């Protein structure tokens, strides 16, 4: 657009024969046609007091007003008179462009008090809508009805599982979320009045159906995603409980993977397939030996699944793969790939000429050195990763530094007032230090030197020195093994096949990571065994839904985690729109419409992967006459 000055003449109404000449401004727009460029009048601006040098600035300001954007260039005039002329021209242009509303047959036009518009009861709907679709895809409501579960109890079971996915927390927190901040009940209404005891009892009922429900999920997921079940991955993790948990016989103190050894623990064993789909879960005592659980897990699997597991490959990490466990797998006809716990059964240096380099994956530059060796009918594969070596070196260096810093601190204290000098106490402190930094402490010979002339059991005996020395043989041996491990299998596979099968254990590690990070796995506040087991099982069910969502998105080249997906969907909400209408008989009617916000493009893309409509439900309308 641009401004053009024009002149015009007008006869005087009061003086006969007198003609006045005046100048006014036009707003012109250029456009192209088949016959060439043309110009058209957009608006007659009238006799605005603008200098010719201000025309361009005026057009820029008016275009910015029309587009809703502010110009960052401050070269042109911007005083109140100038902007007043811009705003006045904008209003004229809007009035000129405005057209009277002509409602179509499909439109419903009424008289509304626009000041009465109000949005109330906003609730989350996006994550619930997606998870609800997976719940239906797995046929869980239909299966639960077949088990004699009431419709309202099914809705509440779904709420408990989805709550663990979307808003992880206790049953009390889940109740507050479901009833006040979630739109799940708009998609899946519930009729009964709810109290906290119903949530607990519903969780108990869900756990009672655990064995048959996991069997249903195995079969359903195998059908939906064409799973082969050729590989079985097994591992354990533990979580801690708050309180004493004296009524829970499984609550035992042990080595906590979350550094919560002071709390009672419970352990969860999980079987997954090569694509990360959960097959079976079971809870154990918190101090259970990892290697003792495999046989019990396999024996608890239903016959339908066990009949297909033979001659398949069981993959185990070093914590479970003892010699006894490996022999049990062999005796019962299972193939296996395990991380060997013993000394490497061959000299690596002698076989260095047989070294084969394999790539960790197609997108990474990480290379793995491997050497294969046959021994007593099994294949042993020595693996060395430079990345793992760097990681272990960094961990060792950090622990070694902390150990030496504390030893130096204790030694300096022997010559300073109000610091520990008693021999017995210092022995105890060094012992705890060795326990805390065992990986680094084994490389050093640490000695506390007592003063002479007193018995070792004398309470007044003091330490006079603290010494430590790096044991070079241990240090050399430790460095030689950094980044190395040995895999053992009874299958005739290539180096690449053995290693790639073993690293599938990352699938189960990812499952545990998801449970601990996103599914309210820890801590557990329940004090009884039944409620604790139910809590763990609900997290496992939530993982089924989470994994399917991530798996299906990955098939469409969307590699976001559940955390990112949930965040992207969180702005899709449901709310009640309230407004007043003036009826034909001049009465005010208050309308309430339960509706959803418009899904943005990212949300629509996610829904499209799962063949979902962008609208979770149709509008629900009710009104009240005043």
* Widest distance between CA atoms in the chain: 137
Does 604 have pLDDT greater than 80?
yes
Does 389 have pLDDT greater than 70?
yes
What percent of the chain shows pLDDT beyond 90? 28
Alpha-carbon span 444 to 271, nearest angstrom: 40
> For residue 189, what pLDDT band results from cuts at 50, 70 and 90?
confident
Alpha-carbon span 384 to 370, nearest angstrom: 7
Average pLDDT over residues 154-166: 92
As given in the structure block, the two tokens for residue 298 are 């396999």
Average pLDDT over residues 191-204: 88
Axis crossing angle, helix 126-137 with helix 562-569, rounded to the nearest 10: 120
Looking at 9-23, 228-242, 388-402, 453-467, which range is the least confident one? 9-23
Residues 6+ apart with CB under 8 A from 342: 323
- Of 420, 428, 414, nearest in space to 465 by CA: 414
Alpha-carbon span 513 to 603, nearest angstrom: 25
> For residue 160, what pLDDT band results from cuts at 50, 70 and 90?
very high
220-263 confidence digits (pLDDT tens): 999 999 987 777 788 888 888 888 888 888 888 887 766 777 78
Provide the β-strand partners of residue 488: 338, 380
Does 143 have pLDDT greater than 90?
yes
Does 121 have pLDDT greater than 80?
yes
In 3-state terms, what secondary structure has residue 10?
strand
Residue with the bigger pLDDT between 125 and 346: it is: 125
Which DSSP helix (H) or strand (E) runs through 435? helix 423-436
Compute the Cα dihedral for 523, 525, 528, 534 and give only its sign: negative
In 3-state terms, what secondary structure has residue 437?
coil
Encode burial over 331-340: b for 16+ CB neighbours within 10 A, e otherwise.
eeebbbbbbb
Alpha-carbon span 348 to 146, nearest angstrom: 59
> For residue 611, what pLDDT band results from cuts at 50, 70 and 90?
very high
Does 363 have pLDDT greater than 50?
no
pLDDT at site 589: 84
Does 76 have pLDDT greater than 70?
no
What value does the CA radius of gyration of the chain take, rounded to a whole number of Å?
A: 37
> For residue 361, what pLDDT band results from cuts at 50, 70 and 90?
low
Alpha-carbon span 98 to 64, nearest angstrom: 19
pLDDT at site 344: 81
Provide the β-strand partners of residue 316: 234, 338
Residues 6+ apart with CB under 8 A from 569: 126, 127, 129, 130, 603, 606
31-56 confidence digits (pLDDT tens): 888 888 888 888 888 888 888 888 88
pLDDT at site 225: 92
> For residue 101, what pLDDT band results from cuts at 50, 70 and 90?
low
pLDDT at site 548: 94
Average pLDDT over residues 64-74: 68
Axis crossing angle, helix 529-555 with helix 562-569, rounded to the nearest 10: 80
Does 301 have pLDDT greater than 70?
no
Does 612 have pLDDT greater than 90?
yes
| Ordered DSSP codes for 301-315 | S-HHHHHHHTTSEEE
Query: What CATH number was assigned to the domain covering residues 210-377+490-555?
Result: 3.30.420.10
Axis crossing angle, helix 562-569 with helix 505-518, rounded to the nearest 10: 40
Average pLDDT over residues 517-534: 82
Average pLDDT over residues 419-445: 90
> For residue 360, what pLDDT band results from cuts at 50, 70 and 90?
low
pLDDT at site 304: 53
As given in the structure block, the two tokens for residue 452 are 């002479």
Residue with the bigger pLDDT between 363 and 264: it is: 264
pLDDT at site 435: 87
pLDDT at site 515: 74
**Please, where in the chain does CATH 3.30.420.10 lie?**
210-377+490-555
Contacts 24+ apart (CB under 8 A), 101-106: none
Alpha-carbon span 512 to 529, nearest angstrom: 21
What percent of the chain shows pLDDT beyond 70? 91
326-344 confidence digits (pLDDT tens): 888 888 888 888 888 877 8
546-600 confidence digits (pLDDT tens): 999 999 999 999 988 888 999 999 999 999 888 888 887 778 888 888 899 999 9
Alpha-carbon span 238 to 561, nearest angstrom: 23
| Ordered DSSP codes for 256-278 | -TTS-TTS-EEEEEEEEETT--E
Residues 6+ apart with CB under 8 A from 533: 207, 250, 283
In 3-state terms, what secondary structure has residue 623?
strand
């Amino acid at each position: 657009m641009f401004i053009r000055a024009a002149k015009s003449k007008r006869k005087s109404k009061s003086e006969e024969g007198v003609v006045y000449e005046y100048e006014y401004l036009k707003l012109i727009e250029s456009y192209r046609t088949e016959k060439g460029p043309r110009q058209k009048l957009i608006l007659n601006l009238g006799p605005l007091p603008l200098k010719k040098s201000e025309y361009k600035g005026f057009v820029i300001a008016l275009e910015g007003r029309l587009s809703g954007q502010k110009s960052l260039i401050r070269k042109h005039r911007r005083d109140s008179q100038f902007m007043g002329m811009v705003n006045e021209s904008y209003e004229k242009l809007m009035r000129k462009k405005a057209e009277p509303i002509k409602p179509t047959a499909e439109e419903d036009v009424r008289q509304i008090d626009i000041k009465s518009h109000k949005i109330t009861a906003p609730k989350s709907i996006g994550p619930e809508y997606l998870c609800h679709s997976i719940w239906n895809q797995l046929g869980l409501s239909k299966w639960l009805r077949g088990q004699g579960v009431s419709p309202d109890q099914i809705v509440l079971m779904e709420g408990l599982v989805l709550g663990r996915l979307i808003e992880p927390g206790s049953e009390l927190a889940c109740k507050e979320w479901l009833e006040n901040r979630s739109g799940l009940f708009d998609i899946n209404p519930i009729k009964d009045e709810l109290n906290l005891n119903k949530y607990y009892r519903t969780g108990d009922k869900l756990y009672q159906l655990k064995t048959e429900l996991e069997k249903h999920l195995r079969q359903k997921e195998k059908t939906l995603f064409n799973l082969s079940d050729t590989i079985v991955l097994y591992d354990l993790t533990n979580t801690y409980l708050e309180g004493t948990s004296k009524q829970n016989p499984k609550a035992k103190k042990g080595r906590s993977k979350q550094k919560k050894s002071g709390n009672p623990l419970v352990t969860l064993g999980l079987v997954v397939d090569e694509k990360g789909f959960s097959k079976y879960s079971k809870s154990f005592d918190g101090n259970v030996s990892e290697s003792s659980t495999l046989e019990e897990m396999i024996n608890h699997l239903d016959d339908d699944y066990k009949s297909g597991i033979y001659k398949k490959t069981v993959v185990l990490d070093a914590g479970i793969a003892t010699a006894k466990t490996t022999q049990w797998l062999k005796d019962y006809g299972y193939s296996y790939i395990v991380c060997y716990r013993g000394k490497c059964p061959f000299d690596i240096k002698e076989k260095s000429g047989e070294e084969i380099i394999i790539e960790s994956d197609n997108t990474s530059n990480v290379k793995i050195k491997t050497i294969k060796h046959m021994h007593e009918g099994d294949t042993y594969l020595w693996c060395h990763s430079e990345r793992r070596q760097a990681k272990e070196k960094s961990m060792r260096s950090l622990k070694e530094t902390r150990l030496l810093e504390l030893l130096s601190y204790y030694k300096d204290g022997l010559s300073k007032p109000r610091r520990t000098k008693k021999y017995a106490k210092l022995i105890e402190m060094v012992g705890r230090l060795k326990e805390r930094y065992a990986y680094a402490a084994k490389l050093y010979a640490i000695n506390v030197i007592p003063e002479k002339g007193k018995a070792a059991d004398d309470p007044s005996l003091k330490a006079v020195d603290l010494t430590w020395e790096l044991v070079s043989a241990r240090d050399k041996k430790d460095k030689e093994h950094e980044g190395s491990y040995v895999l053992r299998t009874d299958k005739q596979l290539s180096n690449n096949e053995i290693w790639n099968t073993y690293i599938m254990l990352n699938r189960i590690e990812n499952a545990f990571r998801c449970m601990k990070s996103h599914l309210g796995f820890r801590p557990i506040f329940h004090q009884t065994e039944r409620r604790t087991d139910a809590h763990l099982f609900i997290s496992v069910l939530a993982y089924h839904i989470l994994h399917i969502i991530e798996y299906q998105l990955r098939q469409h080249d969307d590699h976001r985690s559940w955390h990112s997906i949930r965040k992207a969907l969180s702005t899709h909400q449901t709310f009640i729109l309230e407004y007043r209408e003036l009826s034909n008989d001049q009465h005010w009617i208050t309308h309430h419409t339960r509706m959803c916000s418009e899904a943005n493009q990212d949300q629509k893309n996610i829904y499209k992967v799962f063949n979902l409509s962008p609208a979770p439900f149709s509008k629900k309308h009710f009104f009240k006459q005043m």
